[in-house]
Amino acid sequence: MFKRIIPGVLALAALLTLTSCVKKASANPPPPVVIVEPTASPSETPDVPETPVPPVVVESPEPSPPPAPDLNLVPYDGVVEHLFFHPVVAYPELAFDGDYKEKGIDDYMVTVSEYKKMLQSIYDNGYILVDINDVWSEVVDENGNAKMVRNTLMIPEGKKPLILSFDDVNYYEYMLANGFTYKLVLRDGELWSWGLDPQGNEVYSQDLDAITILDKFVKEHPDFSLNGAKGCLSLTGYEGILGYRTHTDKNDTSEEAARRRAREIEAVKPIIQKLKETGWTFGCHSWGHINLSSASTEKIKADTERWLDEVGSLVGPTKIYFYPFGARPDGSDVKQTGPSFKYLQSVGFRVFCSVGIDSFSKIKTDISAVICDRMHPDGMTLRNQRDRYLRFYDAKEVFDYENRPDYGVSWN
Ligand SMILES: [Zn+2]
């Protein structure tokens, strides 16, 4: 039993498709994307409130921590655990307000409170973050064929390696009014999130977004990260990346749209640079959050080309592909290597991540590639799979009783 797709993956399809994943196809061009750029001049930001309120700085950056002590590194060839998160809920009162998105957010997301408790518990249980790009390498065998091999990781004695990945770090439009941060910004040389609180006040924070929260946690606990590794950000492209609307819109080919896009591209570049400098890496989550189990190879090809053009051109080359909805191409990438998989491999992807009940991974023997499953800390597993996640955290202790709606749990 090494691969089972969780039933909820299909429900995630429903959530994301309904809420965000399908480009609007109406005859009328969609309304201009609301870009509230906190550092731009007012003439460039017609969408900022007429009487902006002063930014609320929730908390100052922490002082630099002492350097990590010298560590005794030992070889590790066991399972490398892999957990993935969606964006975390910053304002539960907006997320869990009884609207039609509430259930999906409850199923697939965790709240800031839960996320912080999970990180602490994962750390307390002896895990150390490693870079997914360090876990496998491509080598050429004696016959001249490229293949992937598992590297022996050198990690501090007593620690267990863990990959973290974060899906849909795009700050989709639908999320903005539903309790999530709006974008990443740079302030005083550090990454912060920016957004609006439920009262409409601007908020810069390092305590409301999965990325800045992990940055802070690693600063406070340097031994939670091997060589500064944080996580791999899984990006689509259809609403830009990292909160910046860097995508093309085939319904709006105006010069103004092109200028707006160019501004967003310039604005996101220093964010990408800062993320790279601070241990974050990037992976492809398809451009349009397409379902690879039902899309034709032609569609996958067009989608991938658009991702490489609009996202890969900004974040740089990546070998990591995160299947949207966890849906594997060609029926099954475990049992066979079909045309869609071969195509994705041919453009440079080597590590293909789905979703499952364990941190499964398998090196394929007929093509240079690794396929793997990630576990998914979220509302569904908090409510219903407490036992399976006990090695990381106890759902009973991290569950956000105060804020989550009453959908019940399978434990007591
Ligand atoms: Zn996704």
Mean pLDDT, the chain cut into blocks of 10 residues (412 residues total) = 40 40 34 33 35 46 52 94 98 96 97 98 98 98 94 97 98 96 97 97 98 98 98 98 97 96 98 98 98 98 98 98 97 93 98 97 97 98 98 98 97 90
What's the 393 CA to ligand 1 centre distance in angstroms? 23
DSSP state of 27: S
Residues, the chain:
412
Q: How far apart are CA 105 and CA 337, in angstroms?
A: 34
Show the CA angle centred on residue 329, arms to residues 282 and 210, nearest 5°: 30
The answer to whether position 406 is within a domain reads: no
pLDDT tens figures, 258-280? 999 999 999 999 999 999 999 99
Helix (H, G, I), strand (E, B), or coil: what is residue 32? coil
CA of 207 to the centre of ligand 1 (A): 23
* Residue 338 belongs to some domain of the structure: yes
In a domain, 233, yes or no: yes
Q: How far is ligand 1, taken at its centre, from the CA of residue 18, in Å?
A: 13
State the distance from the centre of ligand 1 to the C-alpha of 152, rounded, in angstroms. 30
Residue 48 lies in a domain: no
Instruction: With respect to residue 57, please indicate whether it lies within any of the assigned structural domains.
Output: no
Tally DSSP H helices, then E strands, for the chain: 13, 17
- Give, in order, the Cα–Cα distances in Å from 214 to each of 34, 232, 351: 28, 12, 24
**Residue 251 belongs to domain with CATH number:** 3.20.20.370
The alpha carbon of 28 and the centre of ligand 1 are apart by a number of angstroms equal to: 27
Tell me which DSSP letter residue 72 carries: -
**Which pLDDT score, from 0 to 100, does residue 187 have?**
97
Query: How far does the centroid of ligand 1 lie from the alpha carbon of residue 299, in Å?
Result: 18
Prediction pTM value: 0.85
Residue 285 CA to ligand 1 centre (angstroms): 7
In a domain, 272, yes or no: yes
Span 62-91, pLDDT tens digits:
455 554 556 799 999 999 999 999 999 999
Residues with CB under 5 A from ligand 1 (ion): 167-168, 324
The verdict on residue 265 lying in a domain is yes
Distance of CA 254 from the midpoint of ligand 1 (Å) = 29
Counted domains in the chain: 1
Please report whether residue 284 resides in a domain: yes
- Centroid of ligand 1 to alpha carbon of 240 (angstroms): 14
Angle between helices 339-346 and 297-307 (to 10 degrees): 20
Residue 293 Cα to ligand 1 midpoint, Å, equals: 14
Residue 412: its pLDDT value, please? 85
SS3 166: strand
Model pLDDT, residue 242: 98
CA of 156 to the centre of ligand 1 (A): 33
Residue 178 contacts residue 95 (beta carbons within 8 Å): yes
Domain that holds residue 93: 8-19+80-398
Q: Which two tokens stand for residue 339?
A: 């045309």
pLDDT of residue 42: 33
Cα 89 versus chain centre, distance: 13
For residue 17, report the distance from its CA to the centre of ligand 1, in Å. Answer: 10
- 111 CA distance to ligand 1 centroid (A)? 17
